[in-house]
Structure 1
Amino acid sequence: MNITQEKIDDLNAVVKITIAPEDYSPKVEKALKEQAKKANLPGFRKGMVPVAHMKRMYGKSILVEEINNMLSENLTKYLADNKVEILGQPLPVMDDTKEFKWDNTDEFEFNYELGLAPKVDIEVTSKDKFTAYNVKADEETLEARIKNIRKSYGKMTNPEVAAEGDVLYADLAQLSPDGEVFEGGIAATGSIRLDLVTDKKILKTLVGLKKDDVVELDVQKAFDSNETVIAKLLNIGEEDAKDLQSKFKVTIKNVNRLEESDLNQEFYDKIFGEGLVTDEAGFRAKITEEIESMFKQDADRKLQNDIYTQLTEQTKMQLPNEFLRKWLKATNEKLTDEELEQGYEDFAKNLKWTLIENKIITDNEIKIEYKDVFETAKQRLDAQFRMYSPQPMPEDQLAQYTATFLQEKENANRIFDEVKALKVFEHIQSVATLNQKDIDYKKFVEMK
Structure 2
Amino acid sequence: MNITQEKTDDLNAIVTVKISPDDYQEKVNKTIKDQAKKMKLPGFRPGMVPPAHVKKTYGKSILVEEINTLLSESLNNYIQQNEIEILGQPLPKEEDNNFNWDYNDEFVFNYELGLAPEVDVEFTSKDKLTQYNIKVDEETLASRTKSIRRSYGKMTNPEAVADGDVIFGEFIQLSADGSVLENGINVTTSLRLDAVKDAKILKSLIGLKKNDVIDSFDLVTAVDDEKLLAKILKLEDEDPIIPKSNFKLTVKNINRLEEADLNQEFFDKLFGEGTVKTEEEFKAKITEELETMMAQDADKKLAADLYKYGSEKANMPLPNDFLKRWLKIANKEVTDEELEKGYEDFAKNLRWTLVENKIMKDHKIEIKYEDVYQLAKARLDAQFRMYSPQPLSEEQLGQYTAQFMQDKENANRIFDEVKAQKVFDYLKTVITLDKKDITYNKFQELY
TM range (shorter): over 0.9
Residue type at the aligned position of 2:31: A
Partner of 2:187: 188
Q: Secondary structure at the match of 1:392?
A: coil
Q: Secondary structure at the match of 2:40?
A: coil
Distance 2:212 2:34 in 1: 86
Partner of 1:17: 17
Partner of 1:90: 90
Note the 1:21-36 alignment, pairs <5 A.
21-36=21-36
Partner of 2:168: 169
Is 1:398 matched with 2:397?
yes
Residue type at the aligned position of 2:252: K
Partner of 1:427: 426
Q: Secondary structure at the match of 1:3?
A: strand
Conserved in 1, the CA contact under 8 Å of 2:86 and 2:113? yes
Distance 1:311 1:171 in 2: 54
Distance 2:332 2:151 in 1: 51
Note the 1:356-395 alignment, pairs <5 A.
356-395=355-394
Distance 1:99 1:182 in 2: 68
Counterparts in 2 of 1:239 and 1:333: CA distance versus 1, 3 Å: closer
Is 1:228 matched with 2:266?
no
Note the 1:113-262 alignment, pairs <5 A.
113-182=112-181, 184-216=183-215, 217-224=217-224, 226-237=225-236, 242-262=241-261
Conserved in 2, the CA contact under 8 Å of 1:228 and 1:238? no
Q: Deviation at 1:83?
A: 1.2
Partner of 1:67: 67
Counterparts in 2 of 1:372 and 1:232: CA distance versus 1, 3 Å: same
Q: Deviation at 1:239?
A: 5.6
Is 1:444 matched with 2:443?
yes
Q: Deviation at 1:204?
A: 2.4
Q: Deviation at 1:178?
A: 4.1
Partner of 2:338: 339
Q: Deviation at 1:269?
A: 2.5
Partner of 1:283: 282
Counterparts in 2 of 1:340 and 1:153: CA distance versus 1, 3 Å: same
Distance 1:405 1:7 in 2: 42
Residue type at the aligned position of 2:16: K
Residue type at the aligned position of 1:340: L
Q: Structure 2: give runs of 5+ residues left out of the alignment.
A: none
Counterparts in 2 of 1:115 and 1:63: CA distance versus 1, 3 Å: same
Q: Deviation at 1:121?
A: 2.4
Deviations for 1:107-161, whole angstroms, at most 9, x for unmatched residues? 1111111111112123433333222211122322222222222222333333322
Distance 1:99 1:199 in 2: 68
Q: Secondary structure at the match of 2:316?
A: coil
Deviations for 1:198-237, whole angstroms, at most 9, x for unmatched residues? 222222222121122111222212212x233333333332
Partner of 2:414: 415
Conserved in 2, the CA contact under 8 Å of 1:60 and 1:103? yes
Partner of 2:4: 4
Distance 2:182 2:313 in 1: 66
Q: Deviation at 1:90?
A: 1.0
Residue type at the aligned position of 1:40: K
Residue type at the aligned position of 2:441: K
Residue type at the aligned position of 1:80: Q
Distance 1:164 1:370 in 2: 52
Distance 1:190 1:95 in 2: 64
Conserved in 1, the CA contact under 8 Å of 2:154 and 2:257? yes
Once the two structures are overlaid, the 10-residue window that deviates more, 269-278 or 67-76, is 269-278
Distance 2:347 2:332 in 1: 19
Q: Secondary structure at the match of 2:7?
A: strand
- TM-score, L = length of structure 2: 0.94
Q: Deviation at 1:304?
A: 1.0
Structure 1 stretches of at least 4 aligned residues deviating more than 6 Å after TM superposition: none
Residue type at the aligned position of 1:66: E
Conserved in 1, the CA contact under 8 Å of 2:167 and 2:251? yes
Conserved in 2, the CA contact under 8 Å of 1:215 and 1:249? yes
Partner of 1:294: 293
Q: Secondary structure at the match of 1:252?
A: strand
Q: Secondary structure at the match of 1:447?
A: coil
Distance 1:55 1:222 in 2: 76
Is 1:103 matched with 2:102?
yes
Distance 1:240 1:24 in 2: 56
Residue type at the aligned position of 2:59: G
Is 1:323 matched with 2:322?
yes
Q: Deviation at 1:316?
A: 4.4
Distance 1:197 1:312 in 2: 40
Q: Structure 1: give runs of 5+ residues left out of the alignment.
A: none
Q: Deviation at 1:389?
A: 1.2
Counterparts in 2 of 1:242 and 1:295: CA distance versus 1, 3 Å: farther
Deviations for 1:67-93, whole angstroms, at most 9, x for unmatched residues? 111110111111111111111111111
Q: How many residues are treated as equivalent by the alignment?
A: 446
Superposed CA RMSD in Å reads 2.0
Q: Deviation at 1:241?
A: 5.6
Q: Secondary structure at the match of 1:173?
A: strand
Conserved in 2, the CA contact under 8 Å of 1:227 and 1:238? no
Q: Deviation at 1:99?
A: 4.1
Residue type at the aligned position of 2:254: V
Conserved in 1, the CA contact under 8 Å of 2:260 and 2:266? yes
Identity percentage of aligned residues:
63
Once the two structures are overlaid, the 10-residue window that deviates more, 179-188 or 46-55, is 179-188
Counterparts in 2 of 1:267 and 1:238: CA distance versus 1, 3 Å: farther
Once the two structures are overlaid, the 10-residue window that deviates more, 390-399 or 123-132, is 123-132
Deviations for 1:366-391, whole angstroms, at most 9, x for unmatched residues? 11111111111111111111111112
Q: Deviation at 1:174?
A: 3.0
